[in-house]
């Protein structure tokens, strides 16, 4: 009985399911990318060495305090509540209805950013002090050191955490149904509301979520392995060639 219903639900509603899944992936992916960028920027700012005195010190301290508050706030409140506050709050404050998808991407990005900021900061702090010293010793300033030596290593190190965050976001976008974003959960809810087959409809959604996270996880593993680079190097028989080739 149940199985037949599942087949029927899929055959009747597959375009809606796919669109819902597409929206879920879109919000999760964009949110993760924007969040990672926010996290990188905040992580970078928070690891700028604070000078011993002067106006720069005061400014940096203030900025750090604000960023710390942002991180605490978004890590300390549920995304479902943030979505409501931001969506309805913006309507109250500016008298305009925010685009729902925009609001959704905003909430996911800013949330991911808060988590990623801490991951990035940890990643920067965990880079061997010798890397900084070697860069400083050849005359690089802080920005050059970060851009050419530290950050590339940090990005590589935090890639698994970023992928993880993407998988979490695929699942967590489901809470955005509270602001009626037509992602997979919301779509499934309306399908089930029409056919009253809650179990079968959500079973389909469940499988779809699982397939999405599974595929994403596999793809990320693949890239992680690729990034580890080749295990061997070619010893140059004729080094002069290497010089010309590059």
Partner 1 sequence: METIIEIKHVNKYFGSHEVLKDIDFSVKKGEVVTIIGSSGSGKSTLLRCINLLEKPSGGEIMYKGENILDEKHDIFTYRRKLGMVFQQFNLFNNHNVLSNCVVGQVKVLKRSKDEAEKVAMKYLKIVGMDKYVNARPNQLSGGQKQRVAIARALSMEPDVMLFDEPTSALDPEMVGEVLKVMKQLAESGLTMLIVTHEMEFAKEVSDRVVFMDKGVIAEEGSPEQIFNHPTQERTREFLKRTLRSS
Under 8 Å between Cβ of 107 and 169: no
At how many degrees (to 10) do helices 151-172 and 2-46 cross?
150
Stretch that binds partner 1, among 41-49, 91-99, 141-149, 217-225 (CB under 8 A): 141-149
Stretch that binds partner 1, among 65-73, 138-146, 163-171, 190-198 (CB under 8 A): 138-146
Under 8 Å between Cβ of 23 and 182: yes
Q: Is 140 in the site for partner 1 (CB under 8 A)?
A: yes
Task: Please give the full DSSP string across 219-234, using - where no structure is assigned.
Answer: HHHHHHHHHT--S--P
Smallest distance, partner 1 to C-beta of residue 227, A: 11
Q: Is 133 in the site for partner 1 (CB under 8 A)?
A: yes
Among 126, 131, 180, 194, binds partner 1 (CB under 8 A): 131
Q: Is 4 in the site for partner 1 (CB under 8 A)?
A: no
Beta-strand runs (E) in the chain: none
Name the residue among 103, 109, 86, 127 with its Cα closest to residue 165.
109
Stretch that binds partner 1, among 5-13, 25-33, 108-116, 233-241 (CB under 8 A): 233-241
For partner 1, which is the closer residue by CB, 93 or 234? 234
Applying CB under 8 A, the site for partner 1 has a residue count of 30
Distance CA 201, CA 188 (A): 6
Among 3, 94, 196, 233, binds partner 1 (CB under 8 A): 233
Stretch that binds partner 1, among 83-91, 92-100, 110-118, 150-158 (CB under 8 A): 150-158
Distance CA 118, CA 38 (A): 11
Among 138, 196, 218, 225, binds partner 1 (CB under 8 A): 138
Under 8 Å between Cβ of 208 and 171: no
Stretch that binds partner 1, among 23-31, 69-77, 101-109, 228-236 (CB under 8 A): 228-236
Distance CA 87, CA 8 (A): 36
Beta-strand runs (E) in 109-175: none
Name the residue among 96, 103, 90, 157 with its Cα closest to residue 128.
157
Q: Is 159 in the site for partner 1 (CB under 8 A)?
A: no
Residue count of the chain, please give it. Answer: 246
Smallest distance, partner 1 to C-beta of residue 156, A: 7
Name the residue among 163, 149, 161, 81 with its Cα closest to residue 120.
161
Among 3, 141, 196, 218, binds partner 1 (CB under 8 A): 141
Under 8 Å between Cβ of 164 and 221: no
Q: Is 55 in the site for partner 1 (CB under 8 A)?
A: no
Q: Is 77 in the site for partner 1 (CB under 8 A)?
A: no
- Binding-site ranges for partner 1 (CB under 8 A): 128, 130-131, 133-141, 144, 148-149, 152-153, 156, 229, 232-237, 239-240, 242-243, 246
């Amino acid at each position: 009985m149940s199985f037949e219903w599942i087949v029927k639900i899929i055959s009747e509603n597959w375009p809606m399911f796919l669109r819902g899944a597409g929206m879920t992936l879109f919000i999760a992916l964009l949110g993760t990318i924007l969040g990672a960028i926010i996290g990188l920027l905040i992580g970078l700012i928070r690891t700028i060495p604070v000078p011993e005195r002067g106006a720069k010190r005061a400014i940096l301290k203030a900025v750090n305090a604000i960023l710390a508050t942002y991180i605490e706030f978004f890590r300390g409140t549920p995304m479902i509540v943030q979505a409501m506050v931001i969506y309805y709050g913006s309507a109250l404050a500016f008298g305009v209805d925010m685009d729902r998808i925009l609001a959704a991407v905003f909430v996911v990005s800013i949330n991911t950013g808060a988590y990623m900021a801490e991951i990035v900061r940890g990643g920067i702090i965990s880079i061997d002090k010798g890397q900084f010293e070697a860069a400083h010793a050849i005359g690089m300033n802080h920005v050059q050191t970060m851009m050419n030596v530290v950050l590339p290593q940090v990005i590589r190190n935090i890639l698994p955490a970023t992928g993880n965050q993407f998988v979490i976001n695929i699942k967590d976008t489901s809470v955005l149904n509270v602001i009626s974003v037509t992602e997979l959960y919301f779509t499934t809810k309306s399908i089930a509301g029409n056919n009253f087959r809650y179990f079968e409809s959500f079973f389909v959604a469940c499988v779809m979520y699982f397939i999405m996270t599974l595929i994403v996880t596999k793809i990320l593993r693949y890239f992680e392995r690729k990034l580890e680079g080749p295990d061997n190097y070619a010893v140059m028989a004729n080094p002069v060639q290497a010089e010309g080739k590059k």
